[in-house]
Structure 1
Amino acid sequence: MSRLALLALTACLSVSAMAADVIKGERQETFGDVTVHYNTFNSTFIQPDIAKAAELIRSKNQGVINVSVIKAGQPMVASVTGTVKDLTSKTVPLNFKQVTEQGAIYYLAQYPVDQQEVRTFEIKVQTGDKINTINFNQELFPGE
């Protein structure tokens, strides 16, 4: 991916993260000296050229989850896995891909959003031999 496209994607994700923080409070978990920041949003919030550069599907029925791991103020490499579960307990695995650009490391995964509903996310972040789990619920809406 070109540096410009990734920079634009990072900016887009940062704006989404800030908006989520203002509306719903900061979304982060701290595990000792490691802090995990996360947010999720509909993929239609991403501009088409940025979605293409990041190899994301831009659709009203696709959500994106963004995870970053910070230690001592610096981004760090981790292994990120997870699932998203709907109200019928149907579980979809989240296939995260690592994106590294200009001193930033983050992990992106997509999942289907077929209707408005509350989903349960379980994210596992492994740093070294430690595995930390984040569980959260979020109401999701198909995009327009």
Structure 2
Amino acid sequence: MGRLALFLLTACLSVTAMAADVIKGERKETFGDVTVHYNTFNSTFLTPDIAKSAELIRSKNQGVINVSVIKDGKPLVSNVSGTVKDLTSQSVPLKFKQITEQGAIYYIAQYPVEQQEVRTFDIKVQTGDKTNTISFQQELFPGQ
């Protein structure tokens, strides 16, 4: 699983660095002393071994969203939920699962990517008694 953490960190940095609307190559939101890092990418970016170890479907028509929550420089166990909407406002719930390994905690979910289009992601992150919401849009492309 150490390779999964390394891959997700690398994917987070490389995929978000490509996004034109992201300042300094990061996608993150800060809520007081809690920072939420997030990114999304096509599952074909995962190697077969990584996809298998994370129990993810590796397909040109599947996207992955990765969320991590940090407080005081350390990962924070959280409750992460959300939806992804297409341009017709058809919504698909995101079923996040927690991945914990070697001092890192990630929340990952998959969603379908049938065609090139802009999608709206609404992510709720609950830490203790606080719930924070992140909304962002991203153009998605089916993989090769």
TM-score grouping bracket, smaller chain normalisation: over 0.9
Q: In structure 2, how many angstroms separate the alpha carbons of the residues matched to 1:109 and 1:118?
A: 18
The percentage of aligned residue pairs carrying the same residue is: 72
**Quick one: which amino acid aligns to residue 9 of structure 1?**
L
Three-state SS of the structure 1 residue aligned to 2:87 is: coil
Structure 2 residue 12 is the aligned partner of structure 1 residue 17: yes
- Secondary structure at 1:68's aligned position in 2? strand
AA at the equivalent of 2:10: V
Amino acid across the alignment from 1:30: T
In 2, distance between residues paired with 1:134 and 1:142?
A: 24
The alpha-carbon deviation at position 95 of structure 1 amounts to 0.1
Tell me the secondary structure at the aligned position of residue 49 of structure 2.
helix
TM-aligned CA deviation for residue 16 of structure 1: 1.2
Cα RMSD, aligned residues only: 0.7
3-state DSSP of counterpart to 2:135: strand
1:143 is paired with a residue of what secondary structure? coil
Aligned counterparts of 2:17 and 2:88: Cα–Cα separation in 1: 30
- Structure-2 residue corresponding to 1:3: none
Q: How does 1:12-91 map to 2 (within 5 A)?
A: 12-24=7-19, 25=22, 26-91=26-91
Aligned to 1:131: 131
In structure 2, list runs of 5 or more residues that go unmatched: none
What's the secondary structure of 2:10's corresponding residue?
helix
After the TM superposition, which segments of 4 or more aligned residues of structure 1 sit over 4 Å from their partners?
none
Give ranges in structure 1 of 5+ residues lacking alignment: 1-5
Which amino acid is 2:13 matched to?
M
Q: Normalization by structure 1: what TM-score? A: 0.94
Q: Tell me the distance in 1 between the aligned counterparts of 2:48 and 2:15.
A: 21
Partner amino acid, structure 2, of 1:106: Y
Q: Normalising by the residue count of structure 2, what TM-score does the alignment of the two structures yield?
A: 0.94
What is the aligned residue count? 139
